[in-house]
Amino acid sequence: MDNHFTITIHDDHGVKQLNLHKVIKKILLYSALFIIGIFVVGGGIIVYLDLEVDSISVKKVELEANLDALNSKNEELIASILDKQQHLDDKKDELLVVSDKLNDIEELIGLSHPETSSLTQRVDIAKLSSAQMNLIMQHIPNGSPIEYKGITSRFGYREHPTLNRREFHRGSDMKAKMNTPIYAPSDAIVEFAGPHKSSGYGKLIILDHNYGFKTLYGHLSKVAIKSGTFVAKGDLVGYTGNSGMSNGPHLHYEVRFVQRALNPFWFIKWTYANYNQIFEKEKKVPWLSLITAITAHQQPGATTLPSLPKVQLSMVK
């Protein structure tokens, strides 16, 4: 068997022949096939990679779009957080204002609280105390019954202006012109309203308030209410005058507690602004038991004022 083959080459110089062994022929053939295979595989890889690049480009565009959307949402979230933070700061400022106002209320009503108390607890305590305070100021005489112009004759011993003798003055003579309106200093029942000849008070009004308190208004020119009727705090009850044993227009004003005469001056000056002052100045009233009774009235289920015994007033000249 012939294991050789001849390659004939024609050129300008003539014909050349190359004798090659068949093994070399196979090597060349396989090499050519290998190279062709490399080109085919390489082309396939290039096509695949090109497709992958296109896919990656598409994904890149999608990712960039998603990134833009995330950035937009992030900006919105940051704006929302800043807005919420501003809202919280505003609420914090409002709570500080509320706390300051609550401090003022607590100071006004003489209320102390533990440092560990929450704002809600302090508000609940202040609300209850304020309710009690309002009840007290509604049912116990407070404030001036007329426009305050001063006191012409104080509570206590004095020389009587018409009898010219030393005696105990059970009220305060308040400076006033004729026909100055008089208003009820708290809720009451009208015990007496009209001329009172035996006392020297002239035209007289007696208001029977809650918790054992009474107020008297003497030397009036006119009575605007009737006995047995109810008057609320601030209602018009009469007008100042010069009736009875009087040496000039004024209002004789008395405050009594279970028939005991109290200094009206402290009740005239008693307001929300100096709420605690009356407890220090007027020692004849058992304020502790009174506050206890009012506190009991404020308990759940209590709907009416406690029933207190009525005290008959003895008129004193």
3-state SS string for the chain:
CCCEEEEEEEECCEEEEEEEEHHHHHHHHHHHHHHHHHHHHHHHHHHHHHHHHHHHHHHHHHHHHHHHHHHHHHHHHHHHHHHHHHHHHHHHHHHHHHHHHHHHHHHHCCCCCCCCCCHHHHHHHHHHHHHHHHHHHHHCCCCCCCCCCCEEECCEEEECCCCCCEEEECCEEEECCCCCEEECCCCEEEEEEEEECCCCCEEEEEEECHHHEEEEEEEEEEECCCCCCEECCCCEEEEEECCCCCCCCEEEEEEEECCEEECHHHHHCCCCCCCCHHHHHCCCCCHHHHHHHHHHHCCCCCCCCCCCCCCCCCCCC
Count CB neighbours of 185 within 10 A.
26
Are the C-beta atoms of 174 and 218 separated by less than 8 Å?
Answer: no
Q: Look at 304 and 287; give whichever has higher pLDDT.
A: 287
Say if residue 126's pLDDT is above 70.
Answer: no
Which residues lie across from 174 on neighbouring strands?
151, 251
pLDDT band at 266 (very low <50, low <70, confident <90, very high): very high
pLDDT recorded at residue 102: 63
pLDDT band at 146 (very low <50, low <70, confident <90, very high): very high
According to the per-residue pLDDT averaged within each range, which of 2-6, 59-63, 123-127, 251-255 is highest?
251-255
pLDDT recorded at residue 312: 37
- What is the pLDDT averaged over residues 237-263? 93
CA distance 78 to 85: 10
pLDDT band at 47 (very low <50, low <70, confident <90, very high): confident
CA distance 188 to 140: 9
pLDDT above 90 covers a percentage of the chain that reads 32
pLDDT recorded at residue 115: 57
pLDDT recorded at residue 302: 46
CA 139 to chain centre: 26
- What is the pLDDT averaged over residues 55-80? 88
Say if residue 109's pLDDT is above 80.
Answer: no
pLDDT band at 272 (very low <50, low <70, confident <90, very high): confident
pLDDT recorded at residue 32: 83
pLDDT above 70 covers a percentage of the chain that reads 73
Q: What kind of fold does domain 142-278 have according to CATH?
A: Glucose Permease (Domain IIA) (2.70.70)
Which range is least confidently modeled, 142-156, 171-185, 296-310? Answer: 296-310
pLDDT band at 303 (very low <50, low <70, confident <90, very high): very low
- What is the pLDDT averaged over residues 225-235? 96
**Rounded (5°) CA angle 62-64-70:** 105
Residue identified by tokens 């009875």 is: 244
The token pair at 121 is 């607890």
What does the pLDDT look like over 178-196, one tens digit per residue? 999 999 999 999 999 999 9
Q: Look at 109 and 254; give whichever has higher pLDDT.
A: 254
* Nearest to 248, CA basis, from 180, 147, 176, 145: 176
pLDDT band at 238 (very low <50, low <70, confident <90, very high): very high
The token pair at 107 is 């100071």
pLDDT recorded at residue 160: 63
Mean pLDDT, the chain, rounded, equals 80
* Nearest to 182, CA basis, from 268, 247, 117: 268
pLDDT recorded at residue 34: 84
Count CB neighbours of 43 within 10 A.
10
Q: Look at 301 and 153; give whichever has higher pLDDT.
A: 153
- What is the pLDDT averaged over residues 288-300? 69
pLDDT recorded at residue 119: 60
